[in-house]
Amino acid sequence: MTILVNAYCTTRELPPLEFPHSLNSLRDLNDAELPEHLEGFAGYVAGRGEAMTQTRYHVIRHVLRVQHHLSLELESEHMDAFAGWAAEANALVFLSDGTVRDPKGAVLVHPTDLEPDTDAEIPFPQDAHARKAVSMERLEALEIEVPASLPPVLGAGEVELRQPIDVARRALGLLVLANRAESLNHGSPLPLETLREQTPQGFLALSPREKEFLAADPPDRQEVVQSVWRYEALFLLQWALGLTDKLPLPTGICDVPALRERMRTSDLSSSPSLRPVGEILAALDLHLRLHWAVRQARLDEKEPPGDLSPGVVLERHYALNWLIRFEEAEWDEVDVPT
């Protein structure tokens, strides 16, 4: 029996199709019509029930990070070989019966409101599962409870990090922002001219929202406080750039004088480099779970577990999501769902 299959793959590079098949079409994000198609497919998944479920939510998140879409036909006896390929490509599978399936063929989403198969799993690359396992072991040792159902973050083969020079510029922009906000918070504003003399490249790297903040006279009090917290995002970027060796647990604020000194003595204008993608994803996987823990503690009206600082956790998660191009959002629009 011939089966029509649509595969939605999240890896940046596709594994070879080493099984008998007939390829109808193959497109990637260079095809201007693919993003619109993916939005439509996500809408299809969202509409398969009245209330959003955790499974459909994560299927939608998968769809919106798809990098390749294939339509192919193959005989049923080759479906096992296809399943192995789909696992390697980290693919969701859509069949002509309207079901969305995992690489093994288990149903994740029915065209009606039927429940998914009990053994169906949202696909994630093996290295992503391994990073999750390490995070969970560390959290268990710290006696910080997070649900095992919280999925891994992306695999290394799915991610294209920001360019190192862009990370260096973002760090300089954050330095300008946080320095100005801290001085405002202490009631002795640093003149913009002084900041521009100290960090001229930082002014070239400011985001639209940061430019508005610096131009405001006076800025909103809440924005001042929020901008002081950006030191923590800057510390994360310093770690990613290798300017500091350790990324301690987010239980307290960073050493701001030391942070400033690293910025003063580091030449970020000439060939900066980033840590390996695996290290950055490991930090993201851990901080995603820590962020869930502090948010849940707030909902439960409890103190954060493990002496965690919610503000530090948030800023690090924000910077990490920007680093991995989460939802392709620019700095001002970064989201930090848990």
Q: What is the pLDDT of residues 64-117, one digit of tens each?
A: 999 999 999 999 999 999 999 999 999 999 999 999 999 999 999 999 988 999
CA distance 240 to 96: 45
pLDDT value, residue 180: 97
**pLDDT of 39 above 90:** yes
pLDDT value, residue 49: 86
How many Cβ atoms sit within 10 Å of the Cβ of residue 180?
23
Q: Identify each DSSP E strand in the chain by its residue range.
A: 2-9, 22-28, 68-75, 91-95, 100-101, 107-109
Give the C-alpha distances (Å, rounded to integers) separating 198 from 95, 125, 134, 142, 256.
59, 44, 41, 41, 16
**Domain coordinates of the chain in residue numbers?**
2-109, 124-338
pLDDT value, residue 231: 98
pLDDT value, residue 267: 84
pLDDT value, residue 205: 96
**pLDDT of 152 above 90:** yes
Q: Report the chain's mean pLDDT, rounded to a whole number.
A: 96
pLDDT value, residue 270: 77
**pLDDT of 269 above 80:** no
Spatial contact of 89 and 14, defined as CB atoms under 8 Å apart: yes
- b/e map 21-45, b = 16+ CB within 10 Å: beeeeeeeeeeeebeeebeebbebb
Q: How confident is the model at residue 258 (pLDDT cuts 50, 70, 90)?
A: very high
pLDDT value, residue 150: 94
Look up residue 80 and give its amino acid.
D
Over residues 209-222, the pLDDT tens digits come to 999 999 998 899 99
- The residue ranking higher by pLDDT, 271 or 117, is 117
pLDDT value, residue 217: 87
**pLDDT of 271 above 90:** no
**pLDDT of 155 above 80:** yes
* Mean predicted confidence (pLDDT) in 172-177: 98
pLDDT value, residue 109: 97
Find tokens 């509409």 and name the residue. 47
Over residues 306-318, the pLDDT tens digits come to 999 999 999 999 9
* Mean predicted confidence (pLDDT) in 281-293: 98
Give the C-alpha distances (Å, rounded to integers) separating 245 from 121, 239, 312, 321.
36, 6, 18, 20
Question: Mapping DSSP to helix (H, G, I), strand (E, B) and coil, where does residue 71 land?
Answer: strand
Spatial contact of 202 and 173, defined as CB atoms under 8 Å apart: yes
